[in-house]
Structure 1
Amino acid sequence: MSKNCVFAIIGTTGVGKSKLAVELAKVIKGEVYRGYDTITNKIPLNEQDGIPHHLLGYVDESKEYTVQDYERDATKKIDEIHGRGKWPILVGGTHYYLQSTIFKKSLILTDEKNIPTVGTATVDSKPSDYEKIHESKTNEELYKKLQDVDPLMANHWHINDRRKILRSLQVYETTGKRQSEWIKDSEDNRAKSNTLRYPLCIFWLYSDPNILEQRLKNRMYGMVDNGLLDEIAQFRKRHKSQDPQEIDYTRGIAQSIGFCEFEKFFKMLESTDNKTSDRLEEIKEQALEEMNISNRQYARRQVKWIKNKLIPQCKLTKDKDVQAYSYLLDATDLGLWDKQCRDVATEIAQKFLNKKPMPDPGSLGKAAQEILKTIKEPKSALTWKKYYCKTCSKSAAETRDGVAREVWLNGDDEYQQHIRSRQHKKNIKYREMLETNPHLRKKLKIAQSDNEKTAPNSSDGKDAS
């Protein structure tokens, strides 16, 4: 095995990645590559156990830290660790960022000034500048333009995914080549050559979702006890002193779970006459519940990314010179942590470093066997599409809170699973009832034409049923 090996520990939020990273580093002479101490759940100093941790909380909160920034800083730090004769262990952060670091990217590169490029043409590194140029155009106008110049990419995005639509248009207008063509060239190139930057061993810490949900809830209350609200208050104070505008919760550190959920609470708290009201405590409990929901949803998205993106990409390296080995460790029962996580990971890591035969990933237990066998070879990104289910989508008149709901499904698998679901079949009957009950239709103020509206980027314009 080449001397520039890298380890990565992946999994959902709250599953124990930092703990395993420290335990593994103590055995293999590793260093951990891992702001806000509490809201980002940064591992505290007393739990680092003397293991060097890098790039931990060093990013300026006022700056947007892009995937290109992360890739540049991470690869530089990895090279430094290798230079000291030690092994980097990547843990934490967004799996998309981690994947951009361990896999070579032939689609989006960076020049010597660290400006993102596509092929040989430079794309502005500040999407906001490009957004300003087109700020007078509606989402519909931008989407129609993308349909004209690059219909394959248009099929990827929802009509309201303004930033993604603008990015696809920006690639085309800057390079003279469709983004879908860059993706195809990139996929063809990856199929022919080594895609990994380093020999890689990945440990996926997995927990049963029901057990994990309670663990996440307990951790959330622990974050509150450790100063979560004080941290958010400090952030808001600094933001107001630098920028009087409303906080953009889609960018930078403000995207972290907790900031947006407590917006209403802090607005009330900051008003002079509500500091001790019963209503304030009620709003706080609502914020905690919203944060709890956000954590659960984020954990599901993380698992989906690992199963659909990261592990399949690792599988494609099995016949190449530089390979990735991926193993699922069952972290459901913390009482079995040492046996099922720590001991297994350290044994596999030592085999990896000493060029010993690697175990079959499916041999590590029932969870590994059942979950890994469901992971398929990756499809071309160009075959992926969003589906709109108008059967399950509801107008404002049909919802309790008066807010319209659109139901979109990501990719074929999610779409097929949705149309087989009990809720979808229930909604089919509901739509049939509307067709035959004019009084109910009139009560809900739903016109026949509303029910027959086709989403702008549905795959075939037909009803999801």
Structure 2
Amino acid sequence: METTSPTEEKSSGYNPNSGSNSKPKIVVIMGASGSGKSKLAIDLASHFPIEIISADSMQVYQGLDVLTNKVPFDEQRGVPHHLLGTISPNVEFTAKDFRDSAIPLIDEIWSRNCLPVLVGGTNYYIQALVSRFLLDDHAEPLEANYLMDDHDNERPDNELESPEEDCLYTYSRLKELDPVAANRIHPNDQRKIKQYLTLYSHLGVLPSKLFQGNTMQNWGQADSLRYDCCFICVDASLPALDLYVNQRVDVMVSTGLFEEVCDIYKSNADYTRGLRQAIGVREFEDFLNCWNSQSQELPACPVLLKENMHHILNSSDEDQLTLKLRDAVEKVKLNTRRLVRRQKRRISRLQMLFGWNIHFVDVTSCLQGASDNSWSVNVVEPSVNIVKSFLDTPASAKATKRDVEDTKLAERDLWTQYICEACGNRELRGAHEWEQHRQGRSHRKRASRLRKSGILSGVTKNTSVD
């Protein structure tokens, strides 16, 4: 497909600032790791005057270009990319930092008569940017994704606090203050406990009341978002994504992953802050520590280690180093596949629980090796049509449809606590999360096995926490 310069006039004739006093329009390309988000965004530049803002919590850092899968400069095809490899790898770049950086960038892009396109799989970055509620300065203590989070967070908050301060943020204090809010989180989830109590101390409003009063108003209605958003999700089946992720990790190994890991490796490093949080760093810690203990040459000659890692991986030996290295590569694949599931689950929640109008474009056949023409026909062309329709439709025309959707959204069950006895008394929140769990293969297997054995007559119980 021929590419024109992003500053040239596109065939659509689109002028992002033409005759409208409504909220600025932005396009958001979401999706799981490996689904082709960046590729699609760059292809859209052939049809619209766009500039890309990376919404990836690891690609924002300098370094680990292979491991974080940054788009190489020569593949960007002249399309301006922002927040890509611009932050020092040793600092913590939070969702609030992303918001504060992206808002002026969007204004600048609009001033150049270009369309801002956010691209990334870090959904809480996107939430922090487009949601007025989470952008309210009074709500800063809240992590940008607290309404959507699971217990397996992508980026836990690990700020160190003094013992005196820690003692103020206890589950028993939250339960005494607001039993409804306490009942929706795990007693050991210190991060959320602190968020809820900090919220109360800043606003003087019980967290549960704030959720019930403002969540629907500020998340459920499209016209309450900071921007007029066109959400496109590059989607694929899990088997196709799993296979592609495994293949992509193998390609990374052959194109520089080992070298990057060796460069960033530091014994007893903090893997909870900055670039070292990236999947593909911590997984090699056991191997590198083992190498360090077996070889006195590591501190003096890291080049030797880089050269030997490829040899060790491909060796037919079954010694400790070889097994640890192979295990590290498999862990990178496994943890990336887990990330894919979290990303897909959160996108589903944005749509099902909060009413975001997300357009899904299926790339399964493309990941499975279909022709280049398949990408153009099945992915690029539908996306171009989605964006054209979005740009041509005034925000006022969307209001009537949203009124109906928002009424349904407000009636949804977000608060009921479901406890799955079959799965070790696992807690689920809200009807949607419970229904997803109930339909899961693991749950169905456990429930069937327990019913047959007569151990469990009723698989679930639920407790209203309204």
- Scaled by the length of structure 1, what TM-score is found? 0.72
- Aligned partner of 1:230 in structure 2 is 259
Task: Name the stretch that deviates more: 128-137 or 259-268.
Answer: 128-137
Q: Deviations over 1:37-86 (max 9, x none)?
A: 12221111121011100010112221111111111111111111001110
Distance 1:192 1:330 in 2: 26
Contact 1:387–1:410 at 8 Å: present in 2 too? yes
* 3-state SS, counterpart of residue 160 of structure 1: coil
Distance 1:297 1:271 in 2: 31
* 3-state SS, counterpart of residue 313 of structure 1: coil
- Aligned partner of 1:328 in structure 2 is 360
| Correspondence list, 1:427-446, <5 A | 427-429=449-451, 432=454
Select which of 442, 445, 466 maps to 1:423: 445
Distance 1:379 1:130 in 2: 37
Contact 2:353–2:412 at 8 Å: present in 1 too? no
Cα separation, partners in 2 of 1:132 and 1:187, compared to 1, 3 Å: same
Contact 1:99–1:310 at 8 Å: present in 2 too? no
Which amino acid in structure 2 is aligned with residue 17 of structure 1? K
Which amino acid in structure 2 is aligned with residue 71 of structure 1? R
1:338 aligned to 2:376?
yes
Task: Name the stretch that deviates more: 422-431 or 164-173.
Answer: 422-431
Contact 1:418–1:424 at 8 Å: present in 2 too? no
Which amino acid in structure 2 is aligned with residue 32 of structure 1? I
- Aligned partner of 1:451 in structure 2 is none
- Aligned partner of 1:109 in structure 2 is 136
Contact 1:131–1:166 at 8 Å: present in 2 too? no
Aligned length: 384
| Correspondence list, 1:202-221, <5 A | 202-221=231-250
| Correspondence list, 1:2-401, <5 A | 2=22, 4-34=24-54, 35=61, 36-105=64-133, 109-110=136-137, 116=140, 128=159, 130=161, 132-135=163-166, 142-187=170-215, 189-190=217-218, 194-237=223-266, 246-273=268-295, 278-310=319-351, 313-315=354-356, 326-334=358-366, 335=370, 336-355=374-393, 378=409, 383-384=414-415, 387-393=418-424
Which amino acid in structure 2 is aligned with residue 116 of structure 1? E
Distance 2:412 2:129 in 1: 19
Which amino acid in structure 1 is aligned with residue 361 of structure 2? L
Deviation of 1:377 after TM superposition, in Å, equals 5.5
Select which of 403, 408, 412 maps to 2:431: 412
Contact 2:283–2:331 at 8 Å: present in 1 too? yes
Distance 1:247 1:390 in 2: 39
* 3-state SS, counterpart of residue 301 of structure 1: helix
Deviation of 1:129 after TM superposition, in Å, equals 5.6
Q: Deviations over 1:433-455 (max 9, x none)?
A: 69xxxxxxxxxxxxxxxxxxx9x
Distance 2:239 2:321 in 1: 31
Distance 2:222 2:40 in 1: 32
Q: Deviations over 1:274-310 (max 9, x none)?
A: 9778211111111222221211111111111111125
* 3-state SS, counterpart of residue 262 of structure 1: helix
Which amino acid in structure 1 is aligned with residue 278 of structure 2? S
Cα separation, partners in 2 of 1:131 and 1:379, compared to 1, 3 Å: farther
Contact 1:203–1:326 at 8 Å: present in 2 too? yes
Cα separation, partners in 2 of 1:45 and 1:134, compared to 1, 3 Å: same
Contact 2:413–2:430 at 8 Å: present in 1 too? no
* 3-state SS, counterpart of residue 341 of structure 1: helix
Cα separation, partners in 2 of 1:356 and 1:164, compared to 1, 3 Å: closer
Structure 1 stretches lacking a partner, 5+ long: 119-125, 241-245, 316-324, 361-375, 394-405, 435-453
Q: Deviations over 1:11-52 (max 9, x none)?
A: 110000000000002320101111231222111112101110
Distance 1:385 1:296 in 2: 30
Cα separation, partners in 2 of 1:185 and 1:216, compared to 1, 3 Å: same
Q: Deviations over 1:125-151 (max 9, x none)?
A: x983656434468xxx92222111122
Contact 1:109–1:117 at 8 Å: present in 2 too? no
* 3-state SS, counterpart of residue 305 of structure 1: helix
Q: Deviations over 1:207-255 (max 9, x none)?
A: 1111111011111111222222222222224xx6xxxxx4343433333
- Aligned partner of 1:396 in structure 2 is none
Question: How much is the aligned-residue C-alpha RMSD, in angstroms?
Answer: 3.7
Cα separation, partners in 2 of 1:310 and 1:289, compared to 1, 3 Å: same
Contact 1:183–1:381 at 8 Å: present in 2 too? no
Contact 2:31–2:121 at 8 Å: present in 1 too? no
**Identity rate of aligned residues, in percent?**
30
Cα separation, partners in 2 of 1:100 and 1:337, compared to 1, 3 Å: same
* 3-state SS, counterpart of residue 101 of structure 1: helix
Distance 2:434 2:453 in 1: 19
* 3-state SS, counterpart of residue 136 of structure 2: strand
Distance 2:216 2:380 in 1: 38
Contact 2:270–2:276 at 8 Å: present in 1 too? yes
Deviation of 1:353 after TM superposition, in Å, equals 2.5
| Correspondence list, 1:447-458, <5 A | none
- Aligned partner of 2:404 in structure 1 is none
Distance 2:421 2:243 in 1: 34
Cα separation, partners in 2 of 1:432 and 1:300, compared to 1, 3 Å: same
- Aligned partner of 1:366 in structure 2 is none
Cα separation, partners in 2 of 1:433 and 1:356, compared to 1, 3 Å: closer
Contact 2:413–2:432 at 8 Å: present in 1 too? no
